Structure 1
Amino acid sequence: MTGKTRWWTTNSRALLTLAFPLILTNFAYVALTTVDIVMLGRLGALEIAAAGLAITLFNQLRTTGTGLVTGVSNLVAEANARGDQQRIRDLLFAGFLGATVSGVVFCVALLSIGPLLVRLGQDPAVVAKAGDFLMILAPGMLPCLWFQNLRHFTTGLKRPGPLLAITIVSVGLTIGLNYVLIYGKFGLPAFGFTGVAIATVTVFLLSFLAFTVVVRRDSALRPYLQGSGRWVWPGEAVTSVWRLGLPIAGTYASEAGFFSVLTLLIGTLGVEALAAQTVLNQLVYIVFMISAGFSHAASVHISEAGGNADYARARRLGLLGLAWGVIATLVVAIPYLLIPEAIVSLFISAEYAANAEVIALTASGLLIAAVMQIFDAGQNIGNGILRGVGDTAGPFRISLVGYWLIGLPAGYLLGVSAGWGVRGVWIGQAIGLAATAGILLFAFLRRVDRLRQTTGHLAAEPSPS
């Protein structure tokens, strides 16, 4: 085995070791909404369109809130390297504070958005039903973001293991609660449509409580949840979390907002189009969780290389993370291309003739999604590797160009002006993601090369020995 081959094998193993539990953790959350949409698909197009709109808006703000606490993992890792336990406690508190403040604000926003959606051209019947769903779902924002803060705290200490068991249990619990609450089992009333929202919020809360219990039982993590004596307001830690988290949240909000605005645009094309968009978004979102794991893992490893001023290694690690992300999305694309109708039928019941148009529309969209998700993985990992070399503002600026100046106009021109309908919007979305991925990769390579020149550390490629 040559030196280069050994390097790629060793670092791939390290990358996958960290990425795998992160991917499973991401699946815990995507599984919740995936199960919700599968169950809703058995109720009808109006229900799946309304819930899809509500879930899109919820995920938009959830993603933004997650960005606010994402920096906790980086700051905790730095403090842990210095052995500063008090700072780690302060950072954990600061993360909870940010999660709580943003959670309350986002909850109020979700409960107040109905009239605005009608003004933006959404079907009033869909908006009314989405409002009923959000009335129950919105408070779930708080335990959802608290869980994310704990997740980044444990990741910063490189102890993401406790998340795996919670992932498995939460998926099973979501399936069971949806079935019981929608159809009314074990003596409970049949809540129908709103039963899905009740189940989701319940799982959010139980997941957070379970994760808290697991952390408190971990001898290495428990001390950080306990006081150390006299408490002092951790102003510096709060400032650090917000200063690092705000640009990350801005980037996440820009990306999620891009998808949300395109969903609203598609909502003006009819209930069937919005139902198809709901399913397609969820399928893309599942794959996004895979690339998010690679993005975070690559970011951590690149930060370590940067800490040693080994930017030649950081460059290779960035390309390695990107390569694994593309490989994963290509594997997922195979069933999208071979059996699109069968995949869509998992989400939308083919028993009802009224769903036939939605199934056909979504199946054709999967062919576009097979390509689109490759670019989505590229831009997602691009954000992570840029963050790994210390650039958190750059991804936000790049997202404004790729999503809003390229992707959104392309979606409108192809979908509305050119009359291609929902398929045109999807193609425009793919164009925006491709542009963003390309610019991010260019920015990463340029930044890492400049850092190499600045430090004068021109690390050589691995020797064949």
Structure 2
Amino acid sequence: MTPTMQQSTTLVRDGRALAALAVPLALTQLAQVALTTTDTVMMGVLGTEALAAGGLALVIFNQLRTMGVGLVTSVGNQVAAAAARAELAAAEPARRTVPDPAADPDGEVRTLVRAAMAVATLAGAAGAVLMILIGQAATSLGQDAAVAHRAQGMLAALAPGLVPCLWFQAVRQFTVGMRRPQALLRITIASVAVNAALNWGFIHGSWGLPTLGLTGIGVATSSVHLLSFLALYASARRDPRLAPLLGLDFWKADPATVRRLLGLGLPIAATYGSEAGFFSVTALLAGGFGAAALAAHTAVNQLIYIVFQVAVGLSHAASITVSRELALGDLDAARRIKNTALACGAAVMAVVGTVYLTLPDLVLRPYFDPRSATDQQALHIATGLLAVVAVLQFFDCAQNIGVGLLRGLDDTGSGFRITLIGYWAVGLPASLLLAYPLGGETRGLWLGLLLGLATTAVLLLRRYGRTLTTRAAVTRAAVAVEC
């Protein structure tokens, strides 16, 4: 077999192994984003102003939710590494001459879950307060008064759902790290149907529910976050492997473990927040161009958010795999996973980009009413943005995979520092320059986003390659000394 054929065979084998974990995670992410997609479509039914206000509220909610999720994301990697170490120890019993109580992986996992729930509770409560305060300040941030007022009502309804949302994410990371994420997809798909029904009921006052209009979408979403957490918890309690490890008594969390999770999670949260904040700032800037521009930005951003979940699935799968391979001492496999994940991501993004460019009306139709003159203006703006998005999503996928790869190395600080450079030192100035002095307006904002994401992707992937090379050199030196 030629070297090229061997590489192809290895890529296929690694791709299948990655897909085994990435596909269910990506499908779960897609099902989960269907919640906000349903919300966005329902907002569009209520009119352009409601779509603009609801979109603004969702941007703020997603900003804080994403940062909260970042605080518990490392739990999956820590659990996966503990499981791999347990497998390695079981395969080499001769090395375990004296039992080590501190090396009990089950005890470590229980401690991690308890600490993750404590972090999720604190982050959810703080985020809920911030959400309401930001909503109150919307008008001072340049938003239309009517849009800001409607957004405040929805934010007040979304705020109580942040704590159960982060509880769900903490338990989710536990199940993924244990490689038992099967229930996630079923629960999330069911939540989409429940969310759609509750949205309709609270908007229109159906089935005896109060008529709340746009605010009802927020009430429905918060309710679904609570129901989803309860369903995932109940499912884990029925799993004989997971149940003994699932402790929700977060008030008993080990302070040292909480500090360890925060040490890993704060840079991840800052990284996620840096990216989400980058998009949030551009949403605020788009709002300065009028309701039609903000509505177009909201619709296109939602499309990006949908496709981004494929990248999230690949990123999590690659990250967990890297943690596992490093725990097993296989640096070559950890190096190969980068190319495998990027190849899988590029294939998906190419298909989606082709759809954007060839069927723009079909893609954007759910968000706009063709009979409304205002919606037609927003549709025209959004159609022009799809050409930029078709290229942007390649870099968006690559940078997300890069963050996950570095997380697999427990190098969470580098991701944050690199996103600061890519998003804020390159992307935001480019967005401002292209949107204002050069007259690009909303399209200019998105071109700036593209440049920021491209810079971030290149820097993250380069950092991963260099770190692995350094670790390989250290390992070879250690082996040489032992010989």
TM bucket (normalised to shorter chain) is over 0.9
- Number of the residue aligned with 1:462: none
- Number of the residue aligned with 1:90: 111
Q: Quick check: 1:396 aligned with 2:416?
A: yes
Residue in structure 2 matching 1:53, options 43, 53, 56: 56
Is the CA contact 1:146–1:208 (under 8 Å) kept in the aligned structure 2? yes
Write the letter of the residue equivalent to 1:342: L
Residue in structure 1 matching 2:338, options 315, 318, 323: 318
- Aligned-partner Cα distance in 1 for 2:182–2:140: 46
Residue in structure 2 matching 1:78, options 63, 81, 92: 81
Q: What's the CA shift string for 1:347-384, capped at 9, x where partnerless?
A: 22223232110111111111111111111001100111
Deviates more, 1:43-52 or 1:108-117: 108-117
RMSD of aligned Cα (Å): 1.9
- Aligned-partner Cα distance in 2 for 1:438–1:232: 42
1:248-397 pair list within 5 angstroms: 248-397=268-417
- Aligned-partner Cα distance in 2 for 1:222–1:312: 35
- Number of the residue aligned with 1:221: 242
- Aligned-partner Cα distance in 2 for 1:188–1:152: 34
- Number of the residue aligned with 1:405: 425
- Aligned-partner Cα distance in 2 for 1:240–1:369: 38
- Number of the residue aligned with 1:141: 162
Q: What's the CA shift string for 1:16-54, capped at 9, x where partnerless?
A: 000011112212331111000011111111100000000
With normalisation by structure 2, the TM-score equals 0.91
Aligned-pair CA distance for 1:233: 5.0
- Aligned-partner Cα distance in 2 for 1:195–1:351: 25
- Number of the residue aligned with 1:19: 22
Is the CA contact 1:312–1:458 (under 8 Å) kept in the aligned structure 2? no
Q: What's the CA shift string for 1:190-234, capped at 9, x where partnerless?
A: 322122111111111111111111011111111113599xx9651
Q: Quick check: 1:65 aligned with 2:68?
A: yes
- Number of the residue aligned with 1:150: 171
- Aligned-partner Cα distance in 1 for 2:279–2:248: 42
Q: 1:339 to 1:27 in 2, by over 3 A?
A: same
Is the CA contact 2:118–2:253 (under 8 Å) kept in the aligned structure 1? no
Q: Quick check: 1:159 aligned with 2:162?
A: no
Is the CA contact 2:311–2:401 (under 8 Å) kept in the aligned structure 1? yes
- Number of the residue aligned with 2:130: 109
- Aligned-partner Cα distance in 1 for 2:217–2:371: 21
Write the letter of the residue equivalent to 2:109: I
Is the CA contact 2:29–2:313 (under 8 Å) kept in the aligned structure 1? yes
With normalisation by structure 1, the TM-score equals 0.94
- Aligned-partner Cα distance in 1 for 2:442–2:240: 53
Is the CA contact 1:452–1:458 (under 8 Å) kept in the aligned structure 2? no
1:189-228 pair list within 5 angstroms: 189-225=210-246
- Aligned-partner Cα distance in 2 for 1:379–1:334: 21
- Aligned-partner Cα distance in 2 for 1:443–1:3: 27
- Aligned-partner Cα distance in 2 for 1:323–1:158: 23
Residue in structure 2 matching 1:242, options 250, 259, 262: 262
- Aligned-partner Cα distance in 2 for 1:425–1:457: 49
Residue in structure 1 matching 2:202, options 181, 184, 198: 181
- Number of the residue aligned with 1:440: 460
Aligned-pair CA distance for 1:394: 0.7
- Partner of 1:113, secondary structure, is helix
- Partner of 2:162, secondary structure, is helix
Q: 1:443 to 1:233 in 2, by over 3 A?
A: closer
Aligned-pair CA distance for 1:457: 8.2
Deviates more, 1:179-188 or 1:202-211: 179-188
Find runs of 4+ consecutive structure 1 residues off by over 6 angstroms.
none
Is the CA contact 1:302–1:318 (under 8 Å) kept in the aligned structure 2? no
Write the letter of the residue equivalent to 2:40: I
Is the CA contact 1:18–1:297 (under 8 Å) kept in the aligned structure 2? yes
How many aligned positions are there?
457
In structure 2, the gaps of 5 or more residues are 87-103
